[in-house]
């Protein structure tokens, strides 16, 4: 939202093949110790102030998070999760995201770094996982929209509020809300949480990450009791749904053996809405995703040409995809988590953006609009490629001039590089689709 981009999101999921587990949802009551000597092999663990679920949650709420949980390492499902992550990599389902396959050792021939938290962090004794909602009061991608509307994943809509300014505080000189990077927003909150924990529990080693560290956040979040892994491979919180960011603090605080861990049972039941709705078949079976077929991966992480067998299923998605979350019944009950005054509040111009507007952006416009935004991850050339595909799927003839120009190399980004052929390929495919479909007679308005 790993959320790659942000997960990973659906924010890209790298998750593996989580099966259904039967656990009771139990209260977490933990006693924490701090490790004074972090040298490997030192067994000395000294008592620190007692930590309960309530005390940790209060500190996390004060830092700006909706929910938090803590799990000791290694947790009960560590080996299972490690094996499933390894299988995900070995099956080639991570696509071109080579960073997911990084290994330990000077020669890179050791274990997969992300398979177990204690491989990159041998001193780690626990992980605090924090959840922040990005669910805004706005339409879903499956709702009716204008015939020329594209879709940007809702996690990427965020804009920031500048301190000390009121009504215009979140707007730039052109009147648009300034983009905010959820990585930075949540990292700042994590730093606040870390400082509060040091004040409450003493000194300990700590590392903070928001989609950037060698940690599979969702599997750790599940172990920490923040939800279950859904059939769409997203973490589903029983009250907050799946439209949530995850941040982690890897710590040297040791969770005592007497700790009762919170676990949430799988509540997907017989539901198949996400699997049936995925237009590219990325959800190959319940709890398993092939990222190379995921629209989020294709529109954000993938830099080359997209296969014709996938472009038709991408619909109007130009950055990321929300379909498998839009259809999830648990998200119908999810409360609104951000508003216009939040640092993660929605930029209204990014909700159902017109393809004409996106196509008309110059590189300078792209930088102004998306510098500091998750959308910048796709790059100017990548966004153009995605817009071309959405144009083809619309069937609207008014896009033909744009597409002909791109297909012939006119107005391509100066630094497109390998993306130039991907852009041409997408434009040629889109032209063929418009010629085949003609002007659609039943447009969504």
Q: Which residues are catalytic?
A: 211
- 350 is written with which tokens? 């990014």
Interhelix angle 53-63/182-201, rounded to 10 degrees, is 140
Buried b (16+ CB within 10 A) or exposed e, 198-218: eeebeebebbbbbbebbbbbb
**β-strands 228-229, 235-236 pairing:** antiparallel
Angle among Cα 220, 222, 228 to the nearest 5 degrees reads 155
Assess contact for 280 and 10: CB atoms under 8 A.
no
The per-residue DSSP string of 29-73 comes to: EE-EEE-S--STT----EE---EEHHHHHHHHHHHT-SEEEEEES
Q: Which among 280, 206, 289 has a CA at the least distance from the CA of 32?
A: 206
Q: What are phi and psi of 345, to 5 degrees?
A: -70, 155
Distances (CA, A) of 343 to 195, 376, 389: 21, 18, 31
Assess contact for 237 and 266: CB atoms under 8 A.
no
Assess contact for 253 and 201: CB atoms under 8 A.
yes
Q: Which among 389, 379, 373, 251 has a CA at the least distance from the CA of 315?
A: 389
From the number of C-beta atoms within 10 Å of its C-beta (0-12, 13-18, 19+), residue 113 rates as buried
Q: What are phi and psi of 30, to 5 degrees?
A: -120, 145
Assess contact for 214 and 120: CB atoms under 8 A.
yes
From the number of C-beta atoms within 10 Å of its C-beta (0-12, 13-18, 19+), residue 338 rates as buried
Assess contact for 274 and 324: CB atoms under 8 A.
yes
């Amino acid at each position: 939202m790993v959320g790659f981009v942000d997960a990973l999101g659906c924010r890209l999921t790298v998750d593996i093949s989580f099966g259904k587990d039967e656990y009771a949802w139990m209260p977490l009551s933990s006693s924490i110790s701090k490790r004074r000597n972090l040298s490997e092999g030192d067994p000395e663990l000294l008592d620190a102030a007692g930590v309960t679920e309530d005390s940790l949650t209060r500190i996390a709420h004060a830092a700006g998070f909706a929910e938090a949980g803590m799990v000791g390492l290694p947790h009960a499902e560590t080996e299972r999760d490690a094996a499933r992550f390894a299988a995900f990599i070995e099956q080639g389902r991570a696509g071109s995201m080579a960073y997911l396959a990084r290994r330990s050792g000077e020669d890179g021939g050791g274990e997969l770094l992300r398979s177990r938290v204690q491989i990159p962090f041998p001193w780690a004794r626990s992980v605090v996982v924090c959840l922040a909602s990005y669910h805004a009061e706005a339409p879903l991608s499956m709702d009716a929209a204008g015939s020329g509307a594209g879709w940007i994943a809702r996690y990427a809509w965020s804009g920031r509020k500048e301190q000390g300014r009121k009504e215009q505080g979140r707007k730039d000189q052109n009147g648009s809300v300034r983009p905010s990077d959820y990585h930075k927003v949540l990292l700042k909150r994590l730093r606040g949480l870390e400082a509060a924990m040091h004040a409450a529990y003493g000194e300990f080693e700590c590392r903070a990450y928001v989609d950037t560290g060698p940690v599979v956040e969702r599997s750790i979040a599940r172990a920490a009791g923040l939800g279950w892994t859904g059939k769409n491979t997203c973490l589903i919180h029983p009250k907050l749904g799946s439209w949530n960011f995850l941040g982690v603090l890897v710590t040297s605080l040791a969770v005592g053996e007497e700790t009762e861990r919170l676990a949430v049972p799988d509540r997907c039941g017989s539901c198949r809405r996400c699997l049936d709705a995925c237009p590219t078949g990325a959800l190959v079976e319940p709890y398993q995703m092939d990222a190379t077929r995921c629209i989020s991966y294709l529109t954000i992480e993938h830099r080359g040409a997209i296969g014709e067998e996938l472009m038709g299923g991408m619909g109007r998605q130009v950055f990321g995809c929300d379909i498998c979350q839009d259809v999830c019944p648990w998200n119908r009950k999810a409360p609104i988590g951000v508003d216009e005054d939040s640092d993660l509040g929605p930029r209204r111009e990014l909700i159902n953006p017109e393809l004409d507007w996106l196509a008309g952006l110059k590189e300078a416009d792209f930088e102004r609009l998306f510098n500091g935004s998750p959308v910048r991850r796709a790059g100017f050339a990548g966004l153009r490629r995605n817009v071309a595909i959405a144009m083809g799927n619309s069937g609207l003839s008014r896009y033909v001039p744009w597409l002909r120009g791109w297909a012939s190399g006119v107005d391509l980004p100066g630094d497109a590089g390998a993306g130039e052929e991907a852009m041409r390929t997408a434009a040629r495919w889109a032209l063929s689709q418009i010629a085949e479909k003609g002007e659609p007679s039943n447009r969504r308005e």
